[in-house]
Structure 1
Amino acid sequence: MLPNSPYTRAHVAPTALKLKSIPLIVSCLISHAALADDANAIHLESIPVTGNPLGVASDELVVPVSVLNGRELSLRREGTLGETLNGIPGVTATQFGPNASRPVIRGLDAERVRIMQNGIGVLDASSLSFDHAVGIDPLIIEQIDVVRGPAALLYGGSAVGGVVNAIDHRIPKEQLDGVTGRAEARFGGADSTRNAAAVVDAGNGQFAIHADVYNRKTDDLDIPGFAVSRRKSEADGTPRENKGKLVNSSADGDGAALGAALTFDNGYIGASVSTLNNNYGVVAEEAVRIDMQSQRWDIASEFTDLGPVVHRVKFRLAHTDYEHSELEDGEIGTTFKNRGIEGSFEAGHAPIAGLNGVIGYQFSNTNFEALGEEAFVPSVNTQNKALYVYEELPLGTAEAKHKITFGGRLGHTTVDSKTNANFGAGQENSFNPHSFALGGLYSLNEQWSVTSNLSHNERAPSYFELYANGAHVATGQFEVGNTNFDVERSNGVDAQLRWKNSLHSFSIGAYYTRFSNFIGLFSTGNDIEVEPGEFLPEAQFRAVPAVFKGLEAEGKFTLTDHLQWLVRGDYVHAKETHTNDYLPRIAPLRLGTGLQYAFSSFSARIDVLHAFKQNNTADNELATDGYTNVSALLTYKLPVKTHVELFAKANNLLNQEIREHASFLKDISPAGERSLLMGVRADF
């Protein structure tokens, strides 16, 4: 967790399509799958999701999980993964401008939130620095699963805060006879978005292929006022300039993928190759842009109904070649490279005395390099190996289902730096992080159930927490790591009360996580001279005891066959326990509500999210004003044979100055002004 950036500069571009004064408009990309068989009714479906290797439905999971796909994903889709998920109970975003935003779950980010693509970790540099974008574009994602709370048992120490798994179906998993696909184009918004994406799948029942392509362009973001906040200007004298524009926030990206698979009645085996390119401005430095490229090769296979002992096996493997260069006035200043491989093998056994479960092996080997004048970490090789087991014991009757879940993970991690003229001799560090969990689900009756999960989680320190030693321009600090760190340990409890009755559902949950040695970046109060006469404040990675606790709630209530009422809310409280100081960048209490209407070919939605003022701040961190964000959506299905929908989306209808407290740049980079985004989507 980091204090606020001292940067004050922003940047300029052409005018976006915007609404200066309009009533509440409505919009959304609504997938026909969400309307199921009756286009006039709203349905709630249980979907198998990440967080359980046995593939149970989302309402049968012990851990709290949110699933976005079809209708809801289309409604929420934004330019970054973080902004797409921001607003889900318990989820905020780092928001380093509109182009680099990583999910924050329950106040935890960076190495404590595991970002995955089809169940394999995304290899990029987004956890190293807030100005580095996640190597996934939401345009081609078909489903996003968000596991809130510790999931280190199945996914490793970097999942102690939660998991975000983006699913793109680039390797076909099911038999397909014919051609299906979708296409989408949209324009407008506060950043004058112009993007398009197309996805096609074809097969003959035994062999299936997948292809997708997308392109995205944005201009500098239009904002409702000055880039620099009033509080920052009053605190340090930073002038309030660049009214109405967030300078150097434009972006230009594209990507494509090709995949194929042999499909059988009981499984599949396939492969895919994909590429991603992204060139975007860094709003903290108006002369700096990041040019990112990533290539990824995937292999995956799964077979079921294999026999009386081992009845299912699953294999996944991905190799990623990631590189981005930071360009200053068009010249390369620093280059970051991350190349590596990650894979897993999982076997599910037949029921043993009622127990259903899996045993799995996970491994990864990555090589990170930072080359250039702003390299503040040395080249590092990181290797992870882990063996895990997960078991479920069903109890109760068909009418009252109960179950107990338990498991463990034994891991070994090495983090070895290489000899470097700027960092000295190479060093070797090894860790043995182990995690354990015990959970349960108890059905009170057909509508009500209670879940609880107890967990002990351990995380090996990351390469930058160990070896950082230099000026980190994106955060405006001189960062210093600590090679003497032990594994980070935490114990947590999570509980939920759930209610589901026909087309209605509601859940409320609470969690408490205690870290014995939370690894964070803390200011020392010292200044380091990085150039003659130029100083940066020093910040050291330290391990401190800390507690995170909070509440989350969400509900969907069908008022009529066509009208649905939505509610949600979350709250996080995080402190160092030995000093009783608040931790930085913790989002305030948020409450939201909305109405969703669907009738025949027409659908509409309005959402209101209120974030309260955040005064519980860390040292050197400014408070953040509250805001009310009102958005509205409208979609209309054309009366044609192919499923074609027109949509419009209005954001920030009250034209408020929205600054997210979880954002590192909240005081120099607000959200966009009131705007209108329009588009069309076709499914065939």
Structure 2
Amino acid sequence: MTNIFTCSFSRSRRLSPITLALLALTAQAQQQDDSAKPTSVPGGALAPVFVTANPLGDTDLIAPATALYGDELTRRQTNSLGETLNGLPGVSTTTYGPMVGRPIIRGMDGDRIRLLQNGVAAWDASSLSYDHAVPQEPLTVERVEIVRGPAALLYGGNAIGGVVNTIDNRIPREPVKGVDGAVDASYGGANNARAGEAMVEGGNGRFAFHVDAFDRETSKERIPGFAHSDRQRALDGPDADQAYGSIPNSDGRWHGGAVGTSYTWADGYAGLSYNGYEANYGSVAEDDVRLRMHQDHAAFASEVRNLQGPFSQLKFDFGYTDYEHKEIDNGETGTTFRNHGYEARIEARHRKIGPLEGAIGVQISQNTFSALGDEALVPTTQTTNVALFGLEEWNVTDAFKLSAGARYEHVKQDPTAAGNDKFAGVADRDFNAFSASLGALYKLTPAWAVAGNIAYTERAPALYELFANGPHDATGQYLIGNPDAQKEKAVSADLSLRFASGPNKGSIGAFYSRFRNYLTEYNTGRLVDDDDQVVAPGTDDALNEAVYRGVRAEFYGIELDSKWRVYEHGAHKVDVSLVGDYTHARNIDTDQPLPRISPLRATVAVDYGYGPFGARAEMEHAWAQHRVPEDDLPTASYTKLGVMFTYKFHVGTTHWLAYVRGDNLTNQEIRYASSVVRDIAPEGGRSAMVGLRTTF
């Protein structure tokens, strides 16, 4: 990651992590009065502890992982979590229009990617359907941690592809004295987004509080040409109406806020928080369909350090979520999705056992998901998960480290017909899933290191893979689950070469995963109506019938991430970064490609910093994706150019950051291969955004 801001300023009190991150973005890059003792936070960096990848707080990670915070997170923030992370090594997005995007890691999406909020689940419906948004506002996120590949197994079988953990400070984890806060406002982008957030924190060194509120409203997404691709327009026929210049029904609004409080002491903290989220946005596949979403989430978190006895540290996280969204067609509610439940996770770090340092834990969750209405896709299902996990590390020498992790979980799926005849007779399913991993890190020199991981992972089928039986208009399918589906099993490995010396760093790695029973949708070739009755081609609202089945599959690819300081003279600094990735995925049984896999991508960026000024130019190129299933359409290559300019200043005791960002300056028609609506809803055209952020 490239930092284009620097920070050095004096504060008379200890600040919370989120405030440190914001102040690092907005502080003047200048020397303070010699009588003041500066607190330096280079580039907006928080402490380098990577909490998601390793509960031991290790800074030399074996796992392939990425953290976004401070200036880098600000530069990437967009309307959805998926788009914010898109383009990081191995990460793409499901994008279903400008408002909706869920991360894809190494070609895997849905219930193979675990989305966490402060380490535990915040239940929603985003893994069930591509048109369901992730109810998180990027403006309120302090830090995002992404763990790729087998090292994510500590979070369960449905982290088989990776983990995305968003971290905020709604439960303050460090002492806060006095009152501080931040205000953020921006306008622009291809959908004229008007966004703002305000946050206030305060405390007396023991008790602390946090309050935040946000609002985002957007217009329709502007695009360079037709909404439908050339190939799709040919299939539509000459008489079909074609949207041009913007995507119909792509506008939306969401807003919400949070309150939290905690008690901190020298060896820990304990606190509570509540946050609410409301959204109303259009479905880009259906002009008359709106989605109205509501989520309430309550959390408790605590950590106690320096304990006596066999365990030196204990960490507890709990979250309860009540989620609902309605799909409204021409003003009438068609389907209501509900998901409510809790997740609790306890991690205990034990004292050294011989050469071993480690942690063990318990995770318990239960949620009830329902889809009610005439077009109910799945039955009301209660899912219960109880898991034990552990991680051990052995520092064999100063240069060589080994790690081993394991997780055992019991999953029970309990469906109920709830008066819907098509789900009558569905039976409970129970699964026992086991996962284990081994990892090693060897430092060749102080600057060079090699890291590798290998894992065996089992994943219990998701409720929709088992029990689906209904129309899924978002993908134009009638989905039929496999109630006899077995566990998904995979062997995965990755190997990387890393370099880090001063401002220069880089890594290049390869990964491979082989699945014994990869659960995927298989089109039967039949066209059916909403009642799964065969209809003739050309029938209005005809759906492709698809069933879930297990196949042998493999994924492999490469990932590159690097940054180099190419010039430094006085206050002038120039960094060049290069990021790239490639994923190849296929059905081994048929040798056919798996759907929605991003092509080879590469991004080169140049960052310039001089005092309070910063500038960044970035060029991303994605090659064409012709490796698609028979019923899919390929995507063309594109080259996207973006720039960003920043200026930092202060007024009295407040610190300010002003920025302007230009995206897709060459007005390219961009269609992500990972998007299910790529042929009807491209990405936004040329746009500019201005923003202003202040901290006090």
Normalised-by-shorter TM-score class: over 0.9
- Where relative contact order (Cα < 8 A, 6+ residues apart) is larger, the structure is 1
In structure 2, relative to structure 1, the CA distance for the partners of 1:71 and 1:619 (3 Å cut) is same
Following TM superposition, by how much is the alpha carbon of 1:523 offset from its aligned partner in structure 2, in angstroms?
0.7
Following TM superposition, by how much is the alpha carbon of 1:612 offset from its aligned partner in structure 2, in angstroms?
0.3
Matched, 1:605 2:642: no
Letter aligned with residue 305 of structure 2: T
Letter aligned with residue 663 of structure 2: N
State the partner residue of 1:16.
none
State the partner residue of 1:413.
411
1:592, 1:631 → 2: CA distance? 11
- String of CA shifts for 1:11-45, please: whole Å, max 9, x gaps: xxxxxxxxxxxxxxx99999552699956997696
2:179, 2:586 → 1: CA distance? 54
State the partner residue of 2:34.
none
State the partner residue of 1:8.
none
State the partner residue of 2:574.
563
Ranges of 4+ aligned residues in structure 1 off by more than 4 Å: 26-32, 34-46, 531-534
- Contact 1:152/1:435 (<8 A) preserved: no
Letter aligned with residue 294 of structure 2: Q
Letter aligned with residue 429 of structure 1: R
- String of CA shifts for 1:160-190, please: whole Å, max 9, x gaps: 0000000111101111112222210001111
- Contact 2:29/2:612 (<8 A) preserved: no
- String of CA shifts for 1:48-93, please: whole Å, max 9, x gaps: 1211111122xx1111111100010000001100000001010000
State the partner residue of 1:19.
none
Letter aligned with residue 258 of structure 1: V
2:428, 2:303 → 1: CA distance? 37
2:283, 2:6 → 1: CA distance? 29
Following TM superposition, by how much is the alpha carbon of 1:395 offset from its aligned partner in structure 2, in angstroms?
2.2
Following TM superposition, by how much is the alpha carbon of 1:501 offset from its aligned partner in structure 2, in angstroms?
1.2
State the partner residue of 1:636.
647
2:91, 2:277 → 1: CA distance? 25
State the partner residue of 2:115.
115
Following TM superposition, by how much is the alpha carbon of 1:231 offset from its aligned partner in structure 2, in angstroms?
1.6
- String of CA shifts for 1:462-510, please: whole Å, max 9, x gaps: 0000000111111111100001111100001111100011110010000
Q: Secondary structure, in 3 states, of the residue corresponding to 2:578?
A: strand
Q: Secondary structure, in 3 states, of the residue corresponding to 2:139?
A: helix
State the partner residue of 2:260.
259
2:405, 2:137 → 1: CA distance? 33
1:429, 1:111 → 2: CA distance? 17
Following TM superposition, by how much is the alpha carbon of 1:237 offset from its aligned partner in structure 2, in angstroms?
3.0
Q: Secondary structure, in 3 states, of the residue corresponding to 2:170?
A: coil
Residue pairs, 1:329-478, within 5 angstroms: 329-397=330-398, 401-419=399-417, 420-478=420-478
2:139, 2:385 → 1: CA distance? 31
- Contact 2:145/2:165 (<8 A) preserved: yes
Following TM superposition, by how much is the alpha carbon of 1:346 offset from its aligned partner in structure 2, in angstroms?
1.1
Q: Which runs of 5+ in 2 are unaligned?
A: 8-20, 32-40
Q: Secondary structure, in 3 states, of the residue corresponding to 1:33?
A: helix
1:317, 1:27 → 2: CA distance? 35
1:388, 1:280 → 2: CA distance? 39
- Contact 1:27/1:647 (<8 A) preserved: no
Following TM superposition, by how much is the alpha carbon of 1:421 offset from its aligned partner in structure 2, in angstroms?
2.3
In structure 2, relative to structure 1, the CA distance for the partners of 1:350 and 1:27 (3 Å cut) is closer
- Contact 1:42/1:558 (<8 A) preserved: no
State the partner residue of 2:658.
646
2:141, 2:195 → 1: CA distance? 14
Letter aligned with residue 232 of structure 1: Q
1:563, 1:42 → 2: CA distance? 16
Q: 1:621 aligns with which of 632, 653, 674?
A: 632
State the partner residue of 1:506.
506
Matched, 1:594 2:596: no
Residue pairs, 1:139-288, within 5 angstroms: 139-235=139-235, 237=237, 239=240, 241-288=242-289
Q: Secondary structure, in 3 states, of the residue corresponding to 2:683?
A: coil
Pick which of 151-160 and 361-370 moved more: 151-160
Residue pairs, 1:68-79, within 5 angstroms: 68-79=68-79
Letter aligned with residue 407 of structure 1: G
Following TM superposition, by how much is the alpha carbon of 1:232 offset from its aligned partner in structure 2, in angstroms?
1.6
Letter aligned with residue 679 of structure 2: D
2:200, 2:48 → 1: CA distance? 23
1:152, 1:504 → 2: CA distance? 27
Q: Which runs of 5+ in 1 are unaligned?
A: 1-25
Identical columns (%):
42
In structure 2, relative to structure 1, the CA distance for the partners of 1:37 and 1:157 (3 Å cut) is farther
1:298, 1:44 → 2: CA distance? 27
TM-score of the two chains, using structure 2 as the length reference: 0.91
- Contact 2:122/2:320 (<8 A) preserved: no
Matched, 1:577 2:568: no
State the partner residue of 2:547.
540
1:557, 1:38 → 2: CA distance? 21
State the partner residue of 1:7.
none
Following TM superposition, by how much is the alpha carbon of 1:233 offset from its aligned partner in structure 2, in angstroms?
1.9
- String of CA shifts for 1:372-428, please: whole Å, max 9, x gaps: 12211110000000000101111223xxx3210002111100011102323112410
State the partner residue of 1:56.
58
State the partner residue of 1:9.
none
In structure 2, relative to structure 1, the CA distance for the partners of 1:200 and 1:36 (3 Å cut) is closer
- Contact 1:201/1:209 (<8 A) preserved: yes
Q: Secondary structure, in 3 states, of the residue corresponding to 1:158?
A: helix
1:679, 1:35 → 2: CA distance? 12
1:107, 1:483 → 2: CA distance? 25
1:567, 1:287 → 2: CA distance? 42
Letter aligned with residue 495 of structure 1: L
State the partner residue of 1:552.
559
Letter aligned with residue 567 of structure 2: T
Q: How many residues align?
A: 654
State the partner residue of 2:10.
none
1:208, 1:519 → 2: CA distance? 47
Q: Secondary structure, in 3 states, of the residue corresponding to 2:184?
A: strand
1:101, 1:521 → 2: CA distance? 20
1:631, 1:102 → 2: CA distance? 22
Q: 1:672 aligns with which of 667, 684, 689?
A: 684
- Contact 1:36/1:43 (<8 A) preserved: no
- Contact 1:363/1:385 (<8 A) preserved: yes
State the partner residue of 1:23.
none
Matched, 1:33 2:32: no
Q: 1:682 aligns with which of 645, 670, 694?
A: 694
- Contact 2:6/2:29 (<8 A) preserved: no
Letter aligned with residue 357 of structure 2: N
Pick which of 599-608 and 525-534 moved more: 525-534
2:650, 2:202 → 1: CA distance? 25
Letter aligned with residue 603 of structure 2: G
Following TM superposition, by how much is the alpha carbon of 1:563 offset from its aligned partner in structure 2, in angstroms?
1.1
Following TM superposition, by how much is the alpha carbon of 1:235 offset from its aligned partner in structure 2, in angstroms?
4.1
1:142, 1:594 → 2: CA distance? 24
Following TM superposition, by how much is the alpha carbon of 1:640 offset from its aligned partner in structure 2, in angstroms?
2.1
- Contact 1:151/1:163 (<8 A) preserved: no
2:139, 2:22 → 1: CA distance? 14
TM-score of the two chains, using structure 1 as the length reference: 0.93
1:135, 1:189 → 2: CA distance? 20
Q: Secondary structure, in 3 states, of the residue corresponding to 2:379?
A: coil
1:357, 1:172 → 2: CA distance? 26
1:499, 1:28 → 2: CA distance? 23
Pick which of 226-235 and 434-443 moved more: 226-235
